[in-house]
Amino acid sequence: MPTELDNALEVILEKLTEPGQPFETTPYSKYGAEIPAFKFAPPSLAHYFAHFCNQHKDVEFLVDGDLRLTFGDCWAAASHVAAGLAQEHGVKKGDRIGIAARNSSNWIIAYMGIIMAGGCATLLNGFWNGDELAYGIRLAECELVLADAGRAKRL
């Protein structure tokens, strides 16, 4: 039985997704199933990064110790990573690119850059030892791995 909160959330969702609203939905069919999809959503995660990071470019986004980066800073850094992956390493749509790193601003920028280059970010456990990392890289068939110093040393 729905609670009062459930009912209130249902009303809010109906208002947010009705025609003419920013989160308007439209039916989407794939593999014989129909689900609601956002009508005005960017076509890919890379497009979402472009839109959101440029819309909020001067807003602080990442804090990593003393390092503070805005959305614009992250967009610029991720664009540089994406260009390097595509131009220097030949990364193309669907290539699996591993990330072997601790949680950090660099991890997020690497993830964004891989997606922006068309790659498939393959997330490797930063706590794995060298043998486990090597096994994960082989199993996932990574074309390339972006690793921080600690993980690179383990490999």
DSSP the chain: ---HHHHHHHHHHHHHHSTTSTT-EEEEEETTEEEEEETT--SSHHHHHHHHHHHTTTSEEEEETTEEEEHHHHHHHHHHHHHIIIIIH---TT-EEEEE--SSHHHHHHHHHHHHTT-EEEEPPTT--HHHHHHHHHHHT-SEEEE-HHHHHH-
Q: Is domain 42-154 annotated with CATH 3.30.420.310? A: no
| Mean pLDDT (whole number) for 82-91 | 98
Q: Please say if the pLDDT value at position 41 is more than 90.
A: no
**E strand intervals along the chain:** 25-30, 33-38, 60-64, 67-70, 96-100, 120-123, 144-147
Cβ 25 vs Cβ 39: under 8 Å: yes
Q: Please say if the pLDDT value at position 79 is more than 90.
A: yes
Instruction: Give residue 20's pLDDT band: very low, low, confident or very high (50, 70, 90).
Output: very high
Please name the residue that has the structure tokens 């490999």: 155
Q: Please say if the pLDDT value at position 19 is more than 90.
A: yes
pLDDT at 148: 97
Cβ-based burial of 34 (10 A; exposed 0-12, middle 13-18, buried ≥19): exposed
pLDDT at 22: 84
- pTM for the predicted model, two decimal places: 0.85
The pair of structure tokens assigned to 18 is 């009705």
Give residue limits of the domains in the chain.
1-40, 42-154
pLDDT at 18: 92
Q: What percent of the chain has pLDDT over 90?
A: 94
